[in-house]
Amino acid sequence: MTDNLFQKIVTNTEIVDTLSKYYDFEIVDPATNSNDYFFKADEEITVIAEDASGGVFALFHSRDDDSLPVVYISSEGQAGKVGRNFEEFLKIMIVCPYWRDLLKFSNDGQLSEMIKAQPFLVDDTLEDFPEIISVKDKVLSALSLNDVVNPVEMLHKSIVSEPRVSIFSLEDEKFESLFNSFVVTDNPLWKRKM
Protein backbone atom coordinates (compact mmCIF):
# COMPACT_ATOMS: atom_id res chain seq x y z
CA MET A 1 0.00 0.00 0.00
CA THR A 2 2.82 2.43 0.85
CA ASP A 3 4.44 2.12 -2.59
CA ASN A 4 1.14 2.49 -4.46
CA LEU A 5 0.09 5.54 -2.47
CA PHE A 6 3.52 7.16 -2.73
CA GLN A 7 3.52 6.57 -6.51
CA LYS A 8 0.03 8.04 -6.75
CA ILE A 9 1.40 11.21 -5.16
CA VAL A 10 4.67 11.56 -7.08
CA THR A 11 2.97 11.03 -10.45
CA ASN A 12 0.47 13.84 -9.78
CA THR A 13 2.28 17.19 -9.86
CA GLU A 14 -0.81 19.05 -8.65
CA ILE A 15 -0.93 16.89 -5.51
CA VAL A 16 2.84 17.25 -5.00
CA ASP A 17 2.50 21.05 -5.23
CA THR A 18 -0.55 21.10 -2.94
CA LEU A 19 1.16 18.99 -0.28
CA SER A 20 4.11 21.37 -0.37
CA LYS A 21 2.08 24.60 -0.32
CA TYR A 22 -0.58 23.74 2.24
CA TYR A 23 1.00 20.97 4.30
CA ASP A 24 4.75 21.77 4.27
CA PHE A 25 5.41 18.27 2.91
CA GLU A 26 7.98 18.45 0.11
CA ILE A 27 8.40 15.10 -1.64
CA VAL A 28 12.04 14.04 -2.19
CA ASP A 29 13.64 11.10 -3.96
CA PRO A 30 13.50 8.30 -1.38
CA ALA A 31 16.84 7.91 0.41
CA THR A 32 17.81 5.14 2.82
CA ASN A 33 21.14 6.59 3.94
CA SER A 34 20.41 8.72 7.00
CA ASN A 35 24.12 9.64 7.14
CA ASP A 36 23.26 12.22 4.49
CA TYR A 37 21.11 13.91 7.11
CA PHE A 38 21.59 15.24 10.65
CA PHE A 39 20.55 12.10 12.51
CA LYS A 40 20.91 8.33 12.87
CA ALA A 41 18.19 5.79 13.53
CA ASP A 42 18.16 2.50 15.40
CA GLU A 43 16.37 0.87 12.44
CA GLU A 44 16.63 1.32 8.69
CA ILE A 45 14.64 4.32 7.47
CA THR A 46 13.73 5.77 4.09
CA VAL A 47 13.42 9.55 3.89
CA ILE A 48 10.47 10.45 1.63
CA ALA A 49 9.84 14.16 2.29
CA GLU A 50 11.19 17.28 3.96
CA ASP A 51 9.64 20.43 5.38
CA ALA A 52 10.69 24.07 5.07
CA SER A 53 12.41 24.10 8.47
CA GLY A 54 14.75 21.24 7.54
CA GLY A 55 12.78 18.44 9.19
CA VAL A 56 12.30 15.12 7.41
CA PHE A 57 9.59 12.50 7.07
CA ALA A 58 10.77 8.92 6.88
CA LEU A 59 9.39 5.40 6.70
CA PHE A 60 10.61 3.33 9.65
CA HIS A 61 11.47 -0.25 8.62
CA SER A 62 10.42 -2.09 11.75
CA ARG A 63 7.58 -4.16 10.29
CA ASP A 64 6.28 -5.46 6.96
CA ASP A 65 6.16 -3.06 4.01
CA ASP A 66 2.40 -2.52 4.13
CA SER A 67 2.53 -0.89 7.54
CA LEU A 68 5.78 1.07 7.68
CA PRO A 69 5.36 3.73 10.38
CA VAL A 70 6.03 7.34 9.39
CA VAL A 71 8.53 9.20 11.55
CA TYR A 72 8.94 12.97 11.67
CA ILE A 73 12.46 14.13 12.57
CA SER A 74 12.70 17.86 13.26
CA SER A 75 15.79 19.94 12.70
CA GLU A 76 15.40 21.04 16.35
CA GLY A 77 16.26 17.64 17.83
CA GLN A 78 12.80 16.12 18.25
CA ALA A 79 11.47 12.98 16.63
CA GLY A 80 8.54 10.63 16.81
CA LYS A 81 6.13 8.40 14.96
CA VAL A 82 3.35 10.48 13.38
CA GLY A 83 1.54 7.68 11.59
CA ARG A 84 1.36 3.94 12.19
CA ASN A 85 1.57 3.66 8.39
CA PHE A 86 1.83 6.01 5.41
CA GLU A 87 -1.91 6.12 4.75
CA GLU A 88 -2.69 7.00 8.36
CA PHE A 89 -0.08 9.77 8.37
CA LEU A 90 -1.44 11.26 5.15
CA LYS A 91 -4.96 11.30 6.58
CA ILE A 92 -3.76 13.01 9.77
CA MET A 93 -1.71 15.59 7.84
CA ILE A 94 -4.42 16.37 5.28
CA VAL A 95 -7.30 16.60 7.76
CA CYS A 96 -5.20 18.26 10.45
CA PRO A 97 -2.59 20.50 8.74
CA TYR A 98 -1.79 22.08 12.12
CA TRP A 99 -0.65 18.73 13.59
CA ARG A 100 2.76 20.13 14.61
CA ASP A 101 1.05 22.80 16.71
CA LEU A 102 -1.17 20.18 18.33
CA LEU A 103 2.02 18.51 19.54
CA LYS A 104 3.42 21.84 20.68
CA PHE A 105 0.30 22.60 22.74
CA SER A 106 0.01 19.12 24.26
CA ASN A 107 1.19 19.71 27.84
CA ASP A 108 3.81 16.99 27.36
CA GLY A 109 1.55 14.60 25.48
CA GLN A 110 -1.84 15.10 27.14
CA LEU A 111 -4.59 14.22 24.67
CA SER A 112 -7.07 16.43 26.55
CA GLU A 113 -4.86 19.49 26.00
CA MET A 114 -4.47 18.69 22.31
CA ILE A 115 -8.26 18.47 21.99
CA LYS A 116 -8.56 21.88 23.73
CA ALA A 117 -6.08 23.40 21.26
CA GLN A 118 -7.76 22.02 18.14
CA PRO A 119 -10.58 24.60 17.70
CA PHE A 120 -8.11 27.47 18.07
CA LEU A 121 -5.78 25.89 15.52
CA VAL A 122 -8.68 25.29 13.12
CA ASP A 123 -9.60 29.00 13.37
CA ASP A 124 -5.98 30.08 12.84
CA THR A 125 -5.64 27.78 9.81
CA LEU A 126 -8.89 29.01 8.25
CA GLU A 127 -7.75 32.59 8.76
CA ASP A 128 -4.50 31.91 6.88
CA PHE A 129 -5.98 29.51 4.30
CA PRO A 130 -9.75 30.02 3.94
CA GLU A 131 -9.75 27.47 1.10
CA ILE A 132 -8.22 24.67 3.22
CA ILE A 133 -11.48 22.69 3.54
CA SER A 134 -11.89 22.42 -0.24
CA VAL A 135 -8.16 21.66 -0.59
CA LYS A 136 -8.51 18.87 1.98
CA ASP A 137 -11.50 17.37 0.16
CA LYS A 138 -9.71 17.54 -3.19
CA VAL A 139 -6.53 15.86 -1.92
CA LEU A 140 -8.41 13.12 -0.05
CA SER A 141 -10.44 12.40 -3.18
CA ALA A 142 -7.40 12.38 -5.49
CA LEU A 143 -5.64 9.89 -3.20
CA SER A 144 -8.80 7.81 -2.60
CA LEU A 145 -8.56 8.38 1.16
CA ASN A 146 -11.44 8.63 3.60
CA ASP A 147 -11.87 11.62 5.89
CA VAL A 148 -10.90 11.18 9.54
CA VAL A 149 -13.37 11.92 12.32
CA ASN A 150 -10.85 12.08 15.19
CA PRO A 151 -7.46 13.12 13.78
CA VAL A 152 -6.21 14.42 17.14
CA GLU A 153 -6.80 11.08 18.83
CA MET A 154 -5.28 9.25 15.85
CA LEU A 155 -2.12 11.40 15.99
CA HIS A 156 -1.77 10.95 19.75
CA LYS A 157 -2.30 7.19 19.53
CA SER A 158 0.30 6.92 16.78
CA ILE A 159 2.97 8.68 18.79
CA VAL A 160 2.43 6.69 21.99
CA SER A 161 1.94 3.28 20.32
CA GLU A 162 4.52 0.61 19.57
CA PRO A 163 6.94 0.33 17.92
CA ARG A 164 8.88 3.05 19.70
CA VAL A 165 11.21 5.05 17.51
CA SER A 166 14.70 6.07 18.60
CA ILE A 167 16.49 8.75 16.62
CA PHE A 168 19.92 10.09 17.57
CA SER A 169 22.05 13.07 16.62
CA LEU A 170 25.31 12.39 14.83
CA GLU A 171 26.90 12.92 18.27
CA ASP A 172 24.79 10.03 19.69
CA GLU A 173 22.37 12.21 21.68
CA LYS A 174 18.83 10.84 21.65
CA PHE A 175 16.25 13.16 20.09
CA GLU A 176 13.44 14.39 22.33
CA SER A 177 9.74 13.65 21.99
CA LEU A 178 7.63 15.65 19.55
CA PHE A 179 5.31 16.52 22.45
CA ASN A 180 5.94 19.93 24.00
CA SER A 181 4.92 21.44 27.32
CA PHE A 182 2.80 24.38 26.12
CA VAL A 183 -0.89 24.57 27.03
CA VAL A 184 -3.72 26.51 25.38
CA THR A 185 -3.58 29.31 27.96
CA ASP A 186 0.09 29.93 27.07
CA ASN A 187 -1.12 31.53 23.83
CA PRO A 188 -2.29 35.07 24.74
CA LEU A 189 -4.59 35.37 21.70
CA TRP A 190 -6.33 32.11 22.52
CA LYS A 191 -6.53 33.00 26.20
CA ARG A 192 -8.46 36.18 25.35
CA LYS A 193 -10.96 34.11 23.33
CA MET A 194 -11.70 31.80 26.25
Pairing mode, strands 70-73 and 79-83: antiparallel
Query: Domain map of the chain by residue range?
Result: 2-193
Mean pLDDT, contiguous 10-residue spans, the chain (194 residues): 85 98 96 80 90 95 72 96 95 98 98 98 98 98 95 96 88 95 96 90
Residue 187 to residues 56, 106, 125, 190, 191, Cα–Cα distance (Å)? 27, 12, 15, 5, 6
The answer, as to whether pTM is greater than 0.95, is no
User: Hey, what amino acid is at 111?
Assistant: L
